[in-house]
Amino acid sequence: MGFGCGAGDLFSLEKLERDGCVEYRFSSTRWLITTAEIHMRTQVGIIGAGPAGLFLSLLLQRIGIESVVLELHSRQYVEERIRAGVLEHGTVQLMRELGIGERLNKQGLEHGGIELRFGGRGHRIDFRELTGGKSVTIYAQHEVIKDLIAARLKAKKPIIFEAQDVSVDGLGGDTPSINFRANGVAEKLECDFIAGCDGFHGVCRTSIPSEALTIYDREYPFGWLGILAQAPPSSHELIYAHHDRGFALLSMRSPEISRLYLQCEPDEDIAQWPDARIWEELHKRFATTDGGKLTEGPVIQKGVTGMRSFVTEPMQYGKLLLAGDAAHIVPPTGAKGLNLAVADVRVLAQALGDFYENGKTQILERYSDICLRRVWKVQRFSWWMTSLLHRFADASAFDHKRQVAELDYVTSSRAAAQTLAENYVGLPMEFYE
């Protein structure tokens, strides 16, 4: 089992022998080790070292609450997984507050707006002007993950990578636990609470009896073919392009690396898309009447992503609290998935803080209701951006005209542009008593 670095990098632990067991203390987390099974105890067991789980661990650490993070994959895998790239204003501020803003400050690309391109012309939505100075920052999710892991390990707090066969138990009682295997050894982590931060395909949501949950689900009849290209971005800011051939998005990861997406079939065969075909299609969808050009470069990664909207209600069951993609999925058009995961765990950390510090359960009991208010607003925005910009195969001529009229309205009415801007930079966080 690797505490921290995945490959057996064990920090020095305090060792106490008693009652036939060896007890290891790691801060206030205890491992009771017998020959057959290892028992551990912590306050909050966190399943998943994605943005939700890792941000939660740091937020809890800041207020003196102990946690153990369990992750299915290796450290290298999670630090290299290519995903989101747009951080809301509040997510950036939180990283700075948590003391993990150093690389973000150097490498993050702050954007004060986006371009909506349709009818061959670009229209800028000026976030700073429309939101009282707010912006978004382009900083890849895997870089955020590296910063979070480094901070957690620097504080000598445990992350158990490559945890196998993770399951949860005793959710309705006082001592829920997480069972898992590490290096072939069966282990049990006893906790006060379990945070289910294990993403859409994790085990936490599916451990809740189905009759206790209501699921809201919508699949879209298209996907995104995404590439990373070794090419300087052709625009300083993101371009969302509406085109008769389908939607396209120009984004970036750094001044040298472009991230580009094309609307495609949900089950598109990537083998049918050699690089030359991808560039040809991108050129068509981003074409402007003034002859603006896309910069090409070697494609270093490509893949197809499906699009869905998904919400689980409630987001808690007994001592299990779901956060992030484990509870909800948004289509990526609004760039919200990572940011919504962060918003959930901010509420969760506040609720747990109130419980441990003041013995109060009011916020904990309302955790799901509090989160779902924001979740549904973000669902609405992500659905709206998706509907505004994509080509729907069954759309009538009327639908098409209405869609273009809406783009025209959003880019010509201050009120409409402001609605887009305040949602894109992130709705304010609300805190509860």
Q: Which parts of this chain interact with ligand FAD (CB under 6 A)?
A: 47-53, 70-73, 78, 83-86, 141, 163, 166, 197-199, 202-203, 226, 305, 324-325, 332, 335-339, 341
DSSP character at residue 427? P
CA distances in angstroms from 427 to 85, 240, 336, listed in the order given? 18, 21, 11
CB of 313 vs ligand FAD, minimal distance in Å: 17
CA distances in angstroms from 107 to 16, 32, 368, 384, listed in the order given? 45, 43, 35, 31
Active site residue 111: yes
From the candidates 24, 139, 220, 240, give the one annotated as an active-site residue.
Answer: 240
CA distances in angstroms from 307 to 55, 126, 265, 327, 432, listed in the order given? 25, 27, 10, 16, 33
Active site residue 424: yes
Alpha-carbon distance 21 to 35, whole Å? 8
Residues with Cβ within 8 Å of residue 126, at least 6 apart in sequence: 112, 113, 417, 421
Looking at the DSSP assignment, which residues form a beta bridge with residue 239? 115, 250
CB of 34 vs ligand FAD, minimal distance in Å: 23
Active site residue 367: no
C-beta closer to ligand FAD: residue 167 or 362: 167
CB of 56 vs ligand FAD, minimal distance in Å: 9
C-beta closer to ligand FAD: residue 321 or 338: 338
Helices (H) and strands (E) in the chain, counts: 13, 25
C-beta closer to ligand FAD: residue 166 or 352: 166
Active site residue 240: yes
From the candidates 134, 243, 336, 390, give the one annotated as an active-site residue.
Answer: 336
For strand 37-41 and strand 44-47, is the pairing parallel, antiparallel, or unpaired? Answer: unpaired
DSSP character at residue 312? E
Looking at the DSSP assignment, which residues form a beta bridge with residue 14? 25
CB of 405 vs ligand FAD, minimal distance in Å: 27
Percent helix, strand and coil across the chain, each to the nearest 5:
35, 30, 35
C-beta closer to ligand FAD: residue 254 or 305: 305
Active site residue 236: no
CB of 335 vs ligand FAD, minimal distance in Å: 4
CB of 201 vs ligand FAD, minimal distance in Å: 6
Closest CA to 82 of 43, 140, 135: 140
From the candidates 157, 220, 332, 367, give the one annotated as an active-site residue.
Answer: 332
DSSP character at residue 12? P
Which residues are known catalytic residues?
111, 240, 332, 336, 424
